[in-house]
A and B are shown apart, each in its own frame.
Chain A
Amino acid sequence: MEKILEVKDLHVTFSTYGGTVKAVRGVNFHLNKGETLAIVGESGCGKSVTSNAIMRLIPDPPGKISKGEIIFRGKDLTKLSEKKMRGLRGVDISMIFQDPMTALNPTLTIGTQLKEGLQQHRKISSDAAEVKAIEMMDLVGIPSPKERLKQYPHQFSGGMRQRIVIAMALICEPELLIADEPTTALDVTIQAQILELFEKIQEVTGVSIILITHDLGVVAKIADRIVVMYAGKIIEVGTKREVFYQPEHPYTKGLLNSVPRLDLQGEKLTPIDGTPPDLFSPPAGCPFTARCPFAMEVCDKVYPTGTTLSETHQVDCWLQDDRAKRLLATTAATTAEK
C-alpha cells in the first residue's frame, strides 16, 4: 500500500504565561492512500493539534512544531516556506472544521466562496469555476444548486452548511482531507446524512481522509484504521477491528467501556476514574499510570517501548512487554498453587 502521509516523531509545544504546554509529544503514524484514518481521544489529548500541524496551522508564536517530520508526497511539510504551503492548502490537503457557520464567510454568497479556492489556485475562468461549483454542490447533495449558489450562508441549515464546507474542501480535488469533528455540531439524523456523504465522496474521488473525533460510534461506521491518543501520545494504533475487538491498552479498553450502548441493556457504565495529566509537566512514564488499574512500578518512571502485536497493530504499554507477561504468568501460577 502506498503511504500518502507519514508523521515522524512530531512534537508541538505552546509557550504560555504559565509555562510551556507540551501538547503533542512524539507522534508517529502514517496514512495509506484511499483510506480513512480516525484519530480518537478526549479533549486536550492533542488530536486537533496534530492535524493542525499537518496543515501548518499552528499559530507561531505561541505554538511551535519543535521537532519531527511530516512527509507528504516525499516532501517534509515542516520545512516548506509559507508561500509553498499556501499553494498546498486547499489544493492537495484540505480541511473541514467542526462548526460550519464559522467556516463560511457570512457576507459572501456560497457561489463566490466555492469558486474562490478554484480561481486562486488554478487558471480558470469564472464561468468554468461556476460549472465546477455546481457539479460539487450536486455531489454533496444540495438540491437546485444553480439557484442556491446565489444565496448566503444564513439561508442554509447546519447540515446544508456542512455540505457546502465539504464541497469547498473538495473542489480542487485534494488527495488528503482532514476532517476535525465534522459532525459534532450536528443533530444525529443530520450526522447520519453527512456520514453517508463521506462514504460517497471517498468512493467517487478516492480521497484519503483523516477523521478527528471523540465519537466511537462514528469511528465504527466509517474508519479503516484507528489511532488512539492520550496526553499528547499515540498509545494504540490498529485496524478498526483490532482496536474495537482486541484493544490492548487499558485506556482504549476504558474508553470503549465508558460509552453507553444503545443496543445493550442497562448494566452500569464503567467510567475511567480521575482526569488526564497536566501537559505543562507531563509525567516521565506512561501518562495513563495515575488512572490505570493495572499500573506497575515501571509505568510511572519509564515510557513503555512500543509493542508490535500485528503488522497493523501497535500498542505502548508495559503490560505487553515480555517481562511483564512472564511476571503475570508466574503470579498467576503461584496463586493457582495456593
Chain B
Amino acid sequence: MNEKILQVENLKKHFTVEKKQVLQAVNDVSFYVNKGETFGLVGESGCGKSTIGRTIMGLYEKTAGNVMYDGRNVHELTDKEKFGFYRNMQMIFQDPYASLNPRSTVKEVISEPMEVHGLYKSKRKQLDRVYELLEEVGLNRDHANRYPHEFSGGQRQRIGIARALALDPEFIIADEPISALDVSVQAQVVNLLKDLQMEKDLTFLFIAHDLSMVKQISDRIGVMYLGNLVELTASEALYEKPLHPYTKALLSAIPIPDPDIEESRERIILEGELPSPINPPSGCVFRTRCPMAMDICSIEKPQWQEVEQAHYVACHLYDHTIGNRDPVNT
C-alpha cells in the first residue's frame, strides 16, 4: 500500500551568485512521497520549495544528495532515459498567463507533448485524445481551436492541467497552481485536481505558500524555512499538534475567515525578517526569530528526527540527547 514512489535524500541545491557567494537555496532536505498520495510542501517566499520541485524534475542540477524516483536516480539518467522518464512526471506551473504559448491554440498546446513522444500515429486519434482531455478538465471540445488569451485565469489553469495529463503521467508536481486565481475559482481547481487524482491514481507534489489550501488537499505536509525542512507529518497532525515553533507561528499567522474566532485568537507574532540564504544563521536557521531559542540553537544544527510516529521535526526542543530541559527556563 505505502509504496514510496519518490525519495529525496539529503538534497542540496546551492547557487553561485555574484562575487562567488553561495546561495543555499535547499539544504539537506529528505522526504519521501507515497504512491497515490498528495504531499504538500509549504513555506514562505524564498524558503526553497520551488527549487526542490524543479530539482526533482531535473530542471536544476543538484548540488548534493539523491532524488530517487521508482528506484532510479533522476540525476544519473542518460538523455535517452530521461526522455522516457518524463512521460511519468509532469509539472503544472503557477502563472497560467505565462505558462501557455500565446501563439498556439489550445489544441496545439495540449497535443505538443503527444507529438514529441509520438504517442499517436493518426491525427484523428490524437485529436480525440485532446477532446477527451478537455472534457476531463471541465472544458469542452469547442475550446480546442481557441487561443489562451480568450480564457479566464481558471480556465487557463485547466488547460495547463490538461497539458500535464496529456502523457498519462503517474506523478505531477504542481508549483503554486492556484495562487494566481480568485478564491471561488481556486476551489474549482482544487476539486478538479482531487477528482483527477481519484480517477487516475495520480501522485501529487503540491507546492504552495497557502497553508489552509495545502491542508485541504494534502495527505502529508512538509514545512520549510530558509532552505530547510523543519517539520513533516500528516496534515491533520500538523494542524492539531504542531511541534516546531516556526510551524506554530505560521499557523497562528493565518487569518481565519470567522470574526469570533479571529477576535479571540492568541497570535504568535514573529519578530524580525527572514535572514538571507547567502549567509544563513549558524546552528538552527530559525533561531534568530524563534521565541524559544536556547544557547545550543546557535551552536548546533538540530537533527531531523521522528519525534512521534510519522511526525518528523528538526528542533532542539525535542532533542532528547540534550536532556529534557525546560525550554522556557533555559
Contacts and interface: CB of A to CB of B under 8 A. Distances in A.
A219, A244, A259 interface centre (most CB from chain B within 10 Å)? A259
Interface in A174-214: 187-193, 195-196, 214
B258 A191 contact: no
A217 B154 contact: no
B258 to A, nearest CB: 6
Contact of B273 (A160, A219, A259): A160
Given A157-B274, A258-B184, A268-B194, A188 B209 contact: yes
Contacts, number: 125
A214 to B, nearest CB: 6
A216 B184 CA distance: 12
A220 B262 contact: yes
Nearest to A270: B187
Interface stretch (B16-24, B167-175, B212-220, B299-307): B212-220
Given A187-B209, A196-B269, A216 B45 contact: no
Interface string B140-174: 00000000000011110000000000000000000
Interface string B21-62: 000000000000000000000001100000000000000000
Contacts of B274: 157, 187
Contact of B256 (A192, A255, A263): A263
A1 interface: no
Given A159-B273, A192-B267, A258 B209 contact: no
B259 A241 contact: yes
Nearest to A185: B45
B188 A262 contact: no
B327 interface: no
Nearest to A272: B184
Contact of A268 (B154, B191, B273): B191
B118 interface: no
Nearest to B265: A221
Interface in B194-229: 194, 209, 211-213, 215-216
A255 B253 contact: no
A254 B209 contact: no
Contacts of A187: 44-45, 209, 274
Contacts of A268: 191, 194
A281 interface: no
Interface in B245-289: 249-259, 261-263, 267, 269-270, 273-274
Contacts of A195: 255
Interface in A241-277: 241, 244-245, 254-256, 258-263, 265-266, 268-273, 275
Interface residues on chain A, size class: 35 or more
A269 B154 CA distance: 16
A175 to B, nearest CB: 26
A218 interface: yes
B255 A259 contact: no
B236 interface: yes
A240 interface: yes
Contacts of A188: 44, 209, 211, 250, 253-254
Nearest to B185: A271
Contact of A260 (B212, B259, B269): B212
Contacts of B296: none
A329 B258 CA distance: 31
B44 A189 contact: yes
A220 B255 contact: yes
Nearest to A219: B257
Nearest to B154: A275
Given A259-B183, A260-B216, A271 B44 contact: no
Contacts of B236: 265-266
Contacts of A159: 273
A240 B212 CA distance: 22
B14 to A, nearest CB: 22
A214 B183 contact: yes
B239 interface: yes
Contacts of B211: 188, 262
A276 to B, nearest CB: 9
B127 interface: no
A217 B251 CA distance: 13
A217 B253 contact: no
A190, A215, A265, A269 interface centre (most CB from chain B within 10 Å)? A269
A262 B258 contact: no
18 contacts: A157-B273, A157-B274, A189-B269, A189-B270, A192-B253, A192-B267, A214-B183, A256-B257, A258-B183, A258-B187, A260-B187, A262-B212, A263-B258, A268-B194, A271-B184, A271-B187, A271-B191, A275-B155
Given A190-B44, A259-B187, A260-B213, 12 more contacts: A42-B182, A187-B44, A191-B253, A214-B183, A216-B257, A217-B255, A258-B187, A262-B251, A263-B258, A265-B236, A271-B188, A275-B152
